[in-house]
Structures are given as C-alpha cells and as structure tokens.
Amino acid sequence: MPPRISLRQARKLPPRSAVWVRAQPQRRFASSSADAPDVYDVVCVGGGPAGLSLLTGLKASPITRGLKVALIEGQDLQKTRLPRDASLETFSNRCSSLTPASVRNLQEIGAWAHVNTPRVQPYQEMQVWDGVTDARISFDWHTAKPLLSPRNPAQPTTIAYMIENLNTVTALLSRLEQLGGVDFYTSTKVNSIDLGADTEKMDFSSWPILTLSNGKRLAARLLVGADGANSPVRTFADIESRGFDYGRHGVVASLKLAGQGWGGPDHKIAYQRFLPTGPIAMLPLPGNKSTLVWSTTPERAAKLKTLSQNDFVAMVNAGFRLSPTDLEYLHTLPSGQEEEVAWREEHTPVNERAIPMQVADVQAGTVVSFPLRMRHADTYTSERVALVGDAAHTIHPLAGQGLNQGQGDAAALVRTISHAVQTGQDIGSTLALESYTSERYAENNAMLGVCDKLHRLYSVESGPLVGLRSLGLRAVDAMGPLKALFMSRAAGGS
C-alpha cells in the first residue's frame, strides 16, 4: 500500500489563487488530460534558506541548469520580502550567524551579491564565559594561531556574519528570479503526497505525486524536503527522526545597545554566557543594534515575554551581569525587575568591558520564543526523496550552526545531483543520492553531538564538574593552536 499523508492544516486555509511564475515554456511529458500530473525533475517543498539555496545552486550551475524544477511554499514569498530601502532602525528578530563557508557558497551561486549589505554585520571576536564560575574563553583569529609562527596577515579576521534570515531568503529569491527557470507555487500548500501509478504512458509507481491546494498535481523525479522540523516529506518517505526536546525555549529579541560596542564599528564582538538554565547570547548587528538569543526554561521564557519593555531590558542586562541566584529570584517577580536589577548591579562587581554594553531598548513586538529540540533523521535520502536543513536535523542554537548546516546540505545535494546528471544516472535513484547522505550525515551528527554535550555540560549548577569544565575552558583558551582548530571547525572549514 502506498504511504499517503494528508495535511490537515492545509485544509483550514482558505483557497487562494496560486502565484505561478512560468519562466520558460513548459515541456510536455504526459498527455494534457486533467488527471495526468506535471512531471518535474526536482520538486522542492519549502522556500526557506535551505530550499532556496538548493534551487539557486541547481540553476546557477551549467550542468544542472536544464533540470525542470518547481518550488512549493505555503507563504507568499513576495510579501515577506525585505525591502531594498528597509530602515536600519529596525531589525527582524530571526537572525543567523553565517559562517565564512556558508558565505563562500552563497558567493559561488551568485546570491551574495543580492544581499542587502548594510544590514549584514561581520564580527571579529567572540567572548564566551561560564555564568557560575566566570571562566572565560575568547575567540579571535589573533590569539588563535599556530604555535611559534606569526599570524598570516592575509587570513581574514572575520569569524562569522550576522544576517537576518529574511535578508538571506530575499537575496536567494532575487538571484533565483535573475536565473529564471523555476516554477514557483507560492501561497500553496501540499495537500497530499502519494506514490504514482503505472500508467500506459509512464511508470510512476516509484514517483511521489504531490497534490497541491490549488488542485495541481506534480510528479517528482526527486522530491526535496526543505519543509522544516515537522517535515511532511520526511513523513511521506517514512524516515524516522529521532531526538528529544530540550525542555528549553529560545527567547529572541531585537535590541538597541548604549553604543556601537567596546571594539567600535570595525571590531564587533559576539557574547555568550552559559547560565545553568541555558546560554544567553548577544550578537552584533549594524550600528548599535544587537540580536538576543536566550535559551531558558519554558516558564522563564513565558515570564520574560510578559514583562514590560523596561523590565525586559533590565532582565537582559541582568542575564549578562548578575549571579544565577539573582536571576532565579528576578524571574519570580511579577514586575519591578528594573529597580531590583539596578540595586543588584551596585553589589555585583563586573568588568563592564568584558561583557556587552548595557541594553538601552528593545524593539517593540520582537520578543518571541520557540521550543528547542534536537532531532536527527535516520537517513537523508530514500527512493526519490532527499531531505535538507531542518527537515533532516534540528540543533541547539548555542553554536549558531542550524542555518549553516542547511546551507551545507544544499551545497552537497547540488554536487550530488550534478554528478548524477554528468554520469547520466537517474537523479532520484537511491544509488545516485547515496553520496549526499554519506557526505553530510557524519558531519552533521558530530556537530549535533558537540552542541548537545555542551548544553548538558553547562546545565550543571554545582559540584566537581563545574570546576573541571572551568579548568578545561581556561586550558583551551590558553592553547592557541587547539583554539584555532575549534574555530576553523565552527567556521565550516576542515
């Protein structure tokens, strides 16, 4: 029996007319009768950074340019686009840290030129410390260098680039429109995915057939699931995704700081403090803006969201300055955190230059939270199906690797498809797709494991482990070459 799933949430939506951009004359495979599906080489479900990066990669390469591809996205991508002249006073609360490797990939596929550059903030230094013991490690390419040899001046000093996810998506979309040749089905849901039948004209029995909310039916030689953590494509392919909930929520917000940062506009610093409830991170955006990612318990996240703007600002400042004990008490107050934090700051000695500048304001309506999960699909491919990005894996945000992993997946899948095209294989066959899983699975799994262990290590509040982890952190901080190794791994290099 063919697996069949129906998408309940899709039915709830009022039927909207699909935006269907037809950029090149459609080739006809089957007869034009109503029940025959349109046949595509690649159908990508999900127009997020990973899916768009995949399609752009396919269209940018001369080898795969000829493939017939379609994108299905539930939202109207034109509506959510970042305007070219968007004000630098407001920033989206969903930002990501793009590693140099991800940026290189975006440059190669020609999307980086479409990025709204004034809204991107490279940073050169990272300060990470233990909220219980204050043991600290700093990452910058000056202190992390091979033993006994001077730093190579040609080596870039940037650790990563802070960018709004919207900016990435808009740039990819612009590049994709420039390249052309993609059938966009936006504001369109997938109602169901079934296996096709053996018809007279063509044997679709191993092909996924998608029924869209606008009544269209598409047959996919390769169906790509870039449809997020609850991937319907993964469910269709019957791929198990294993993992657990962290019991933590990530609270994000767009913040305005008292100044440009301690390093000035040309040397930006990212900060992360490990609290027993989870890490709190402040990442630089252009000017005096910053973005917050605070992993904390669901109860505390809910409390933070109910606070007034002034109290929320005080809590963020407290998160980088005050003791875990004070934070525990502050979360029990219904209001008045601002005053309480001001008193505690008088009695808590901190080196102001080692922590982010005081937060001055929070952009209204940007305080939201989402649950943190760790999931990893058993495999990324099956017959005529491949998974990329969050559909394949979700990760704790403490190392800012989620979006970068998706970009890595997309680039690897483009390479796999292009190899299959070059060698004349069926791009949907498990054999052709095999190299994609083998290239990405172990690497993603290692990163998932490292972030998970770090989360566990720093959840401990007291005991000998606290002393040991502080000792280890200080030791790594003192060992330049080892630090350089970690940094290059986190930067997406090898």
Partner 1 sequence: MAKHVRISQLQKLTSRPCHLIHPSSPTASFRCFSVLNRPTPNYEGHLPLTRTERIGLALGSGLGSFLDPRRGDLIASFGEATAQPYFIYKLRDRMLLSPTGRRILRDRPRLSSTSLDIPRLRNLAPNTVGYAYAAWLDREGVSPDTRAAVKYIDDEECAYTMQRYRECHDFYHTLVGLPVFREGEVALKAFEFANTGLPMTGLAVFSAFTLKKAEWRRFWDIYGPWATRNGAQSDDVINIYWEEELETDIDQLRARLGIEKPPDLRAMRKAEREARKKEKEASETMARAAV
Q: Which residues does 153 contact at the CB level (< 8 Å), separation at least 6? A: none
Q: Which is nearer to partner 1, 268 or 469 (CB)?
A: 469
Q: Which is nearer to partner 1, 262 or 329 (CB)?
A: 329
In the complex, least distance from residue 480 CB atom to partner 1, rounded to whole angstroms: 24
Cα-Cα-Cα-Cα torsion 53, 56, 60, 65, nearest 10 degrees, comes to 130
Q: Which is nearer to partner 1, 108 or 328 (CB)?
A: 328
Q: Which is nearer to partner 1, 293 or 318 (CB)?
A: 318
Contact (Cβ atoms closer than 8 angstroms) between residue 71 and residue 47: yes
Residue type (1 letter), 260: Q
* Spatial distance between the Cα atoms of 37 and 221, rounded to a whole number of angstroms: 12
In the complex, least distance from residue 329 CB atom to partner 1, rounded to whole angstroms: 6
In the complex, least distance from residue 325 CB atom to partner 1, rounded to whole angstroms: 4
In the complex, least distance from residue 333 CB atom to partner 1, rounded to whole angstroms: 9
* Helix H or strand E segment including 289: strand 289-296
Contact (Cβ atoms closer than 8 angstroms) between residue 46 and residue 406: no
Q: Which is nearer to partner 1, 237 or 327 (CB)?
A: 327
227 backbone dihedrals φ, ψ, rounded to 5°: -105, 30
In the complex, least distance from residue 463 CB atom to partner 1, rounded to whole angstroms: 12
CA distances from 203 to 27, 34, 207 (A): 18, 18, 8
Q: Which is nearer to partner 1, 450 or 466 (CB)?
A: 466
CA distances from 381 to 124, 347, 470 (A): 37, 56, 41
In the complex, least distance from residue 297 CB atom to partner 1, rounded to whole angstroms: 16
Residues that bind partner 1 (CB under 8 A): 323, 325-326, 328-329, 343, 347
Q: Which is nearer to partner 1, 328 or 361 (CB)?
A: 328
Side-chain-side CA neighbours of residue 274 (13 Å): 25
In the complex, least distance from residue 309 CB atom to partner 1, rounded to whole angstroms: 24
In the complex, least distance from residue 295 CB atom to partner 1, rounded to whole angstroms: 22
Q: Which is nearer to partner 1, 329 or 486 (CB)?
A: 329
Strands (E), 199-275: 208-212, 217-225, 241-257, 269-275
In the complex, least distance from residue 454 CB atom to partner 1, rounded to whole angstroms: 25
* Spatial distance between the Cα atoms of 276 and 260, rounded to a whole number of angstroms: 29
In the complex, least distance from residue 131 CB atom to partner 1, rounded to whole angstroms: 13
Tally DSSP H helices, then E strands, for the chain.
13, 22
Q: Which is nearer to partner 1, 342 or 360 (CB)?
A: 342
Q: Which is nearer to partner 1, 90 or 325 (CB)?
A: 325
DSSP 324-365: HHHHHHHTT-SS-HHHHHHHHHHHS---GGGSPPPEEEE-TT
Helices 430-459 and 464-478 pack at an angle, to 10 degrees, of 120
Q: Which is nearer to partner 1, 308 or 462 (CB)?
A: 462
DSSP 158-187: --EEEEEHHHHHHHHHHHHHHH--EEEEET
In the complex, least distance from residue 344 CB atom to partner 1, rounded to whole angstroms: 8
In the complex, least distance from residue 277 CB atom to partner 1, rounded to whole angstroms: 15
In the complex, least distance from residue 348 CB atom to partner 1, rounded to whole angstroms: 9
Q: Which is nearer to partner 1, 31 or 325 (CB)?
A: 325
User: β-pairing, 269-275 with 359-362?
Assistant: unpaired
Contact (Cβ atoms closer than 8 angstroms) between residue 69 and residue 181: yes
Side-chain-side CA neighbours of residue 308 (13 Å): 9
Helix (H, G, I), strand (E, B) or coil at 277: coil
Residue 98: Cβ-neighbour burial (10 angstroms; 0-12, 13-18, 19+): buried
- Residue 315's region, left for phi above 0, alpha for psi from -120 to 50, else beta, is alpha
Q: Which is nearer to partner 1, 54 or 135 (CB)?
A: 135
Helix (H, G, I), strand (E, B) or coil at 78: coil
Neighbouring CB atoms inside 10 A of 414's CB total: 25
